[in-house]
Amino acid sequence: MFLKLENIRKEYDGKVAVDALSLEVPRGVIYGIIGPNGAGKTTTIRMIMNITIPDSGRILMEGAQSGAAFKNRVGYLPEERGLYKKMTLEEIMVYMAELKNYPRSKAIGKIDYWLDRIGLAEYKRKKVEELSKGMQQKLQFVTTILHEPDLVILDEIFSGLDPLNIELIKDIILEMKRAGKTILFSTHVMEQAEKLCDNLCMISYGRKVIDGKLTDVKARFGRNTIQIDIEGDGAFIASLPGVRKMIEFNNYIELHVDEGVDTNSLLRAVTEKVVVRRFDIVEPSLYDIFIDMAKIDPAELDRSKEAAGV
Amino acid sequence: MSKFWVIFKREYAQVVKKKSFIVGIILTPAIMAGFVLLPTLLIGKKATSAEKLAVVDRSEQGIGRQFEESLKRYKLEASGEPYYIVEQVFELPAADTVRFVAVEDSLRQVITDKELKYFLVLKPDAQLSDTNLYLVTNSDNFLSINRFEGRLSDILASIRLEESNVNLGVDSVLSLTRQVDLKIRDAKGESLPFLTKYMSALVFILVMFAMILGYGQMVMRSVIEEKNSRVMEVLVSSVTPFQLMLGKIIGLGAATFTQVAVWVLLGAGIYSMKGALNIDAAVDRIIFNPLIIVFFALFLTTGYLLYSTVFALLGSIVNSEKEAQNFIFPISMSLMFPVIIAMYIVQEPNSTLSIALSLVPFFAPTMMTMRLVFVAPTLTTYSVLSGIAAQAVLGFVIVVLTIVGMIWLTGKIFRVGILMYGKRPTLPEIVKWVKY
Q: Which domain holds residue B133?
A: 51-176
Q: Does residue B274 carry a pLDDT above 80? A: no
Model pLDDT, residue B396: 95
- In a shared domain, residues B280 and B298: yes
Residue bearing the bigger pLDDT, A229 or B177: A229
Burial of B276 (0-12, 13-18, 19+ CB in 10 A): exposed
> Domain with B72 in it: what CATH number?
3.40.190.10
Query: Average per-residue pLDDT in chain A?
Result: 85
Helix (H, G, I), strand (E, B) or coil at B225: helix
- In a shared domain, residues B283 and B367: yes
- The nearest alpha carbon in chain A to B244 belongs to A99
* Banded pLDDT at B132 (limits 50, 70, 90): confident
Model pLDDT, residue B7: 92
For the segment A139-152, the average pLDDT, to the nearest whole number, is 93
Model pLDDT, residue B383: 73
**For chain A, percent of residues with pLDDT exceeding 70:** 93
Q: Each residue of A183-198: b (16+ CB within 10 Å) or e?
A: bbbbbbbbebbbebbe
- In a shared domain, residues B166 and B235: no
DSSP assignment of B378-390 equals G-S--BTTBHHHH
Cross-chain residue pair B229–A85, CB shorter than 8 Å = yes
**For chain B, percent of residues with pLDDT exceeding 70:** 92
What is each CA distance from A75 to A14, A51, A200, in whole angstroms?
A: 31, 13, 19
Q: Please answer whether residues B12 and B255 qualify as being in contact, where contact means their C-beta atoms are separated by less than 8 angstroms.
A: yes
- In a shared domain, residues B123 and B244: no
User: Is B187 among the domain residues?
Assistant: no
Residue range B218-231, pLDDT digits in tens: 999 999 988 888 88
Pairing of strands A30-34, A199-204: parallel
Q: Which residues, 6 or more positions from B328, have their beta carbon under 8 angstroms from its beta carbon? A: B217, B314
* Banded pLDDT at B170 (limits 50, 70, 90): low
Model pLDDT, residue B126: 84
Cross-chain residue pair A82–B229, CB shorter than 8 Å = yes
Separation between Cα atoms, residue B267 and residue B294, nearest integer Å: 12
- In a shared domain, residues B323 and B233: yes
Q: Which helix (H) or strand (E) holds B57?
A: strand B51-57
Instruction: Give me the number of domains chain B comprises.
Output: 2
Q: Does residue A147 carry a pLDDT above 60? A: yes
Domain end, chosen from B128, B151, B176, is at B176
- In a shared domain, residues B70 and B30: no
Residue bearing the bigger pLDDT, B291 or A117: A117
User: Is B246 among the domain residues?
Assistant: yes
Q: Tell me the CB-side half-sphere exposure of residue A234, using CA atoms within 13 A.
A: 25
Show residues of chain B in contact with A107, CB under 8 Å.
Answer: none
Interface of B with A (CB under 8 A): 2-3, 6-7, 10, 14, 225-226, 228-240, 419
Q: Does residue A310 carry a pLDDT above 50? A: no
Mutation choice for B interface testing from A99, A137, A154 by most B CBs within 10 A = A99
- In a shared domain, residues B136 and B36: no
Is the interface score ipTM higher than 0.90?
Answer: no
Other CB atoms within 10 Å distance of the CB of residue A72? 16
Most confident of A243-252, B63-72, B172-181, B196-205: B63-72
- In a shared domain, residues B161 and B235: no
In this structure, the dihedral spanned by the alpha carbons of residues B140, B143, B149 and B154, taken in order and rounded to 10 degrees, is: -170
Q: Does residue A260 carry a pLDDT above 80? A: no
* Banded pLDDT at A47 (limits 50, 70, 90): confident
User: Is B185 among the domain residues?
Assistant: no
Q: Does residue B284 carry a pLDDT above 70? A: yes
Cross-chain residue pair A76–B10, CB shorter than 8 Å = no
Residue range B21-80, pLDDT digits in tens: 888 888 877 777 777 667 666 665 667 788 889 999 998 888 999 999 998 888 887 788
User: Is B186 among the domain residues?
Assistant: no
Other CB atoms within 10 Å distance of the CB of residue B132? 16
Cross-chain residue pair B237–A76, CB shorter than 8 Å = yes
Residue bearing the bigger pLDDT, A31 or A191: A31
Domain end, chosen from B148, B176, B204, is at B176
Alpha helices by DSSP H, A125-209: 133-145, 163-178, 190-196
- In a shared domain, residues B114 and B235: no
Which among B2, B234, B239 has the least Cβ separation from residue A76? B234
Residue range A70-81, pLDDT digits in tens: 888 899 998 888
Q: Does residue A292 carry a pLDDT above 80? A: no
Alpha helices by DSSP H, chain A: 41-48, 68-72, 89-98, 104-117, 133-145, 163-178, 190-196, 214-221, 263-271, 286-294, 298-307
Least-confidence region, from A17-31, A174-188, B176-190, B403-417: B176-190
User: Is B78 among the domain residues?
Assistant: yes
What is each CA distance from A218 to A55, A199, A256, B1, in whole angstroms?
A: 33, 11, 14, 48
Residue range B339-382, pLDDT digits in tens: 888 888 888 888 888 899 999 999 999 999 989 888 888 777 77
Cross-chain residue pair B234–A82, CB shorter than 8 Å = yes
* Shortest alpha-carbon distance between residue B316 and chain A (Å): 15
Mutation choice for A interface testing from B2, B8, B234 by most A CBs within 10 A = B234
- In a shared domain, residues B115 and B231: no
User: Is B34 among the domain residues?
Assistant: yes
User: Is B69 among the domain residues?
Assistant: yes
Listed residue (A135, A231, A49) closest to B240, CA to CA: A49
Model pLDDT, residue B41: 67
Listed residue (A140, A145, A147, A155) closest to A49, CA to CA: A155
- In a shared domain, residues B330 and B368: yes
Domain end, chosen from B176, B205, B233, is at B176
- In a shared domain, residues B220 and B270: yes
Separation between Cα atoms, residue B35 and residue B39, nearest integer Å: 7
Q: Does residue B140 carry a pLDDT above 80? A: no
Q: Amino acid identity, residue B62? A: G
Query: Average per-residue pLDDT in chain B?
Result: 84
Model pLDDT, residue B394: 94
Residue range B109-131, pLDDT digits in tens: 888 766 788 999 998 888 888 88
Other CB atoms within 10 Å distance of the CB of residue B420? 16
Which among B231, B237, B239 has the least Cβ separation from residue A83? B231
Which among A78, A98, A99 has the least Cβ separation from residue B233? A78
* Shortest alpha-carbon distance between residue B8 and chain A (Å): 11
User: Is B389 among the domain residues?
Assistant: yes
For the segment A99-104, the average pLDDT, to the nearest whole number, is 92
Separation between Cα atoms, residue A51 and residue A35, nearest integer Å: 21
Cross-chain residue pair A49–B237, CB shorter than 8 Å = yes
Which among B2, B10, B234 has the least Cβ separation from residue A101? B2
**For chain B, percent of residues with pLDDT exceeding 90:** 17
Cross-chain residue pair A78–B234, CB shorter than 8 Å = yes
Q: Does residue B100 carry a pLDDT above 80? A: yes
